[in-house]
Chain A
């Protein structure tokens, strides 16, 4: 360039001094020379320009600007907008979503016009007029860049932004911009304006993990998009430019400032009257604190449902995220909400206990709850731990713990089936079975007791004595029939819960009792449909498996016995619930596991408290001290709220009888339970079949006491 200027200047200022004739001749020759020189210069220029063009062409070719568009465009034309798979409760209420990136797909036709207007006003006012590129905007952007030297203004149309986000990288290079322009042109040729908007509004990142306006609406306002108002649409429209910078949770002032800009542009665009704009600016934005639904309603249940969906759909289940499936479940959100509040109500107690224990690092006191409808087997509520955010391990399903005495009803069902009654006496001496020495929780092991007292007071040795009589094999068979799916060792200790099982195992045991001896396997998924409403799974099409484990009479007698646990037993702190509820405490060795399993006619609830590290919980800990409070809190709210307790039914072959819990003899003020009509309590309750012992009131056995 400097050489060129020197040549021009040389011609103008370095002319030598000559005569007139010479001068004219000289000028002519100079003009000829100049013409000759100018022609060479133009050739040179042309050559240089050609070289530049060739270089740019080579460069753009190398950068892929001129690559085949068909393949790229196909990504957009055949794009399926990701959509979260949604989980519903039994009443059709949404309780969770499965996604990798949070999407809530909304077809263009269902996107409110105001949303579109707000977006177009601030991002691409000429969207419906241009062919993918708005050259005037581009020019303005170029000038802004040229004057400031910085990328302050994009100038990209919505189509270009879509192309950039969907098909290209976010690098700021000329080649990428050219490619964006070219592809935008082709996109406009292949897709309708509405489809482009649909893709744009549903796929652009909106901050906080939300993609698209549907997800953003839920994320920021906790409401579906069609329930928003203009001031809220304006806020969402403002987010497209810089979702992080205008994040209403992080930078509310910036977000509101941006919202006002959008409202102003809507006025300028003529889509919003000035008066409405003023009103919109004055309306307060109420942001919902961002807590993903998955973590608030039933997070543990959702993890279980995901696992079940995978099992039911095979490999398809693994890609459950973002597939837009609709999964209808058995959960009752109202009960789940109660479960969540129960967990909160008992949290303080658990924290207090935790602070009193010396736990290993990362170990903590946990609790879990599961509620089941015994008449169908459907899982109604589930909490697999105290705080999902802190520990995602689902103890309601995946944890295998010792059930302790909560297992005993299995043994008692066999006893009742062997024609024993609640008034029969059983032996309570300490046992030593080849080194295995079962102990009673409160040391009560020196007398014989009635069956009902042994159950109500949760005595171990009578149950082991009964188990010896019945045989371990029969107990395992009965447990399996009552729904225990966990492995059980061939050891006598199982009779008092000396093995590991899940909370669902225990729930099934009690569901069998509550449902008059009929077991329905527990289930959680009612129906799965894909995004096109094609049914992938429908539980109603599968024949229901109902297993009559034992007669309704046995179940009802067992239930009446479990009611006594609430009236005179280890759960007497909730004695007022006994008319409508029954249950059993369970405490494993050193109170490492603390259970309460109880039920009304239509709801079975199992609660557990312990630590993942199996830490001893202290001498004061027990099922009644730790697990019962949560059960109590849950069941009271349930029966006083969404799921009132139904009345018990009693077989005509049974009759209530009141008897002395110590001696099994009829008594006016004693324990009331159901008996077979031909096996009511008698003055003498000894049963030869089971080696029971007649106890004399006021004197020890063969004590030769007469009157002193």
Chain B
């Protein structure tokens, strides 16, 4: 059966269709070009190592009329699109911008596989370090797909992941995208494994709605990722207007002037209550709050932030201007992080040590990758069915990811818990609602 998904033809080949001549013709006419596209990045030598490629080149639509001939054709295509060798292909840049974070993810991916029954994860995970250029990534992906017969691909760098999404379309291979920005492939083969930016955005929007906020000023360091803001705009639609103000984090003068300017613009609006979203770390938050307080006068502001606020140093020593401020995070209590991540809890379960906080952020991604990949390896799913099956998967193996909840949402983003915290004195508390103090 051939499904139409926009402009791209996808196939869903099940054995029951083997005997249908029309289907065979459709496969030859519509799938063969995709197949050729998926092997195109390979070298001639590599293509010569694929015997089915020569056979498929000789097939004609008239061959579909012959029952036996038709069966051979369909078995060849089945071999290409359904069979896999229970391997995981990982495409990486030669050196990641944050290589330490990458190693944390890969380490935990391996550990999670092992915890879930894979005896030798190092034999299962095939890592390719290739240039970030699209052609290099496509070639590496084609090798992994056709020569190594991997079950799924994992990409981290956004350029490389975009290449993987392309080949996922033509080769019908599931791809785990470990970044928040790469658009999904149209063939539904791509799945995003990343902390829940959209869920965090929804939490913040709840806060703004609860306080009747129609205008929110967003302060962020120039050049930073604005995934959360993008999601806020996308989900919030026209119900809320975001006024952006960026600053050069290395220039105290620019920080001061930009923040003062943004605060003065807030004062010009008639809204009685306005939101302020600071997409920066806890150190800068304390700095900006003092500037905002100095310039805001009697304006009622609801301060909000993201997980970068999370640190004991946000509230030690107490910062008066942060009292009642709210921020969202994808980690709640550090006592509940997935087993094996070992988060030390020196004081409150809402805080861990500085090193552990940074480490766990990345390890939890690796953990999520590993546990989902382990499901794939354990399953009897054909390769082109993996993505479909994953979308109906529910959590059942972890206390951090809610048991029974779908592993992926409708947007094919892995579901993660999202939490809201409120600053109270020298501590933070989990907040059930987003009403301001």
Contact = CB atoms under 8 A, between A and B. Distances in A.
Given A707-B156, A708-B158, A433 B179 contact: no
A653 B224 CA distance: 45
A696 interface: yes
B316 A706 contact: no
B290 to A, nearest CB: 5
Interface string B278-308: 0011111011001000000000000000011
A700 B308 contact: yes
Q: Give the most central of A684, A692, A693, A706: most B CB within 10 Å.
A: A706
Nearest to B294: A437
Contact of B316 (A432, A684, A691, A703): A691
Given A444-B252, A446-B249, A428 B308 contact: no
Contacts of A707: 93, 96-98, 102, 156-158, 179
Contact of A430 (B158, B287, B311): B287
Given A701-B358, A706-B156, A708-B158, A686 B353 contact: yes
B348 to A, nearest CB: 13
B167 to A, nearest CB: 19
A684 B178 CA distance: 27
B181 to A, nearest CB: 7
B404 interface: no
Contacts of A337: none
Q: Give the most central of A433, A448, A693, A701: most B CB within 10 Å.
A: A701
B346 to A, nearest CB: 7
B228 to A, nearest CB: 10
Nearest to B253: A443
Contacts of B349: none
B70 interface: no
B312 A691 contact: yes
A705 B252 contact: no
Contact of A432 (B157, B308, B320, B354): B320
Contact of A700 (B256, B281, B287): B281
A445 interface: yes
B361 to A, nearest CB: 6
Contacts of B353: 686, 688
A125 B281 CA distance: 99
B319 interface: yes
Interface in B228-261: 249, 252-253, 255-256
B229 to A, nearest CB: 14
A706 B308 contact: no
Contacts of A700: 221, 224, 280-281, 308
Contacts of B93: 707
A696 B100 contact: yes
B98 A705 contact: yes
Contact of B157 (A428, A429, A445, A708): A708
Nearest to B357: A702
B195 interface: yes
Contacts of B346: 688
B354 A706 contact: no
B340 interface: no
B313 A693 contact: yes
A543 interface: no
Interface in B5-58: none
Interface in A436-458: 437, 442-448
Residues of A in contact with B, size category: 35 or more
A446 B285 CA distance: 9
A520 B225 CA distance: 58
B358 A706 contact: no
Contact of B283 (A446, A694, A696): A446
Interface string B78-98: 000000000000000100111
A146 interface: no
A704 B104 CA distance: 12
A314 interface: no
A693 B354 contact: yes
A439 to B, nearest CB: 10
B317 interface: yes
Contacts of A448: 283
A599 interface: no
A498 B157 CA distance: 51
A368 to B, nearest CB: 33
B105 interface: yes
Interface residues of B, number: 51
Contacts of A701: 281-283, 308, 311, 354, 357-358
Given A430-B290, A446-B284, A701-B281, A694 B354 contact: yes
B321 interface: yes
A204 B322 CA distance: 82
A694 B280 CA distance: 16
Contact of B98 (A432, A691, A692, A699): A699
B270 interface: no
Given A701-B308, A702-B307, A707-B98, A447 B362 contact: no
Contacts of B311: 693, 701-702
B203 interface: no
Given A701-B358, A702-B307, A708 B321 contact: no
A698 B290 contact: no
B101 interface: yes
A486 interface: no
A698 B100 CA distance: 11
Contacts of A437: 290
Given A686-B355, A707-B157, A446 B287 contact: yes
B286 A429 contact: yes
A636 to B, nearest CB: 34
A686 B178 CA distance: 29
Interface in B137-186: 156-158, 178-181
B383 interface: no
Interface in B91-122: 93, 96-98, 100-102, 105
A76 to B, nearest CB: 79
Interface string A599-639: 00000000000000000000000000000000000000000
B310 interface: yes
A88 interface: no
B354 A692 contact: yes
A429 B321 CA distance: 13
B193 to A, nearest CB: 12
A708 B181 contact: yes
Contact of B287 (A445, A692, A693, A702): A445
A433 B318 CA distance: 8
A663 interface: no
Contact of B281 (A691, A703, A706): A703
Given A693-B354, A696-B100, A706-B101, A446 B290 contact: no
User: What 10 A-B pairs have minimum CB-CB distances, sorted nearest first?
Assistant: A443-B252, A707-B96, A429-B286, A707-B157, A694-B354, A701-B281, A700-B281, A693-B354, A707-B97, A429-B283
Interface of B: 93, 96-98, 100-102, 105, 156-158, 178-181, 195, 221, 224-225, 249, 252-253, 255-256, 280-284, 286-287, 290, 307-308, 310-313, 316-317, 319-321, 346, 353-355, 357-358, 361-362
Given A431-B317, A432-B290, 14 more contacts: A429-B287, A430-B290, A443-B252, A698-B98, A699-B98, A701-B311, A701-B354, A704-B307, A704-B362, A705-B225, A706-B97, A707-B158, A708-B157, A708-B158
25 contacts: A445-B252, A445-B287, A446-B252, A468-B317, A686-B354, A691-B313, A692-B354, A693-B354, A696-B98, A698-B97, A699-B97, A699-B101, A701-B281, A701-B354, A701-B358, A702-B310, A702-B311, A702-B358, A703-B281, A704-B180, A704-B361, A705-B225, A706-B102, A706-B156, A706-B362
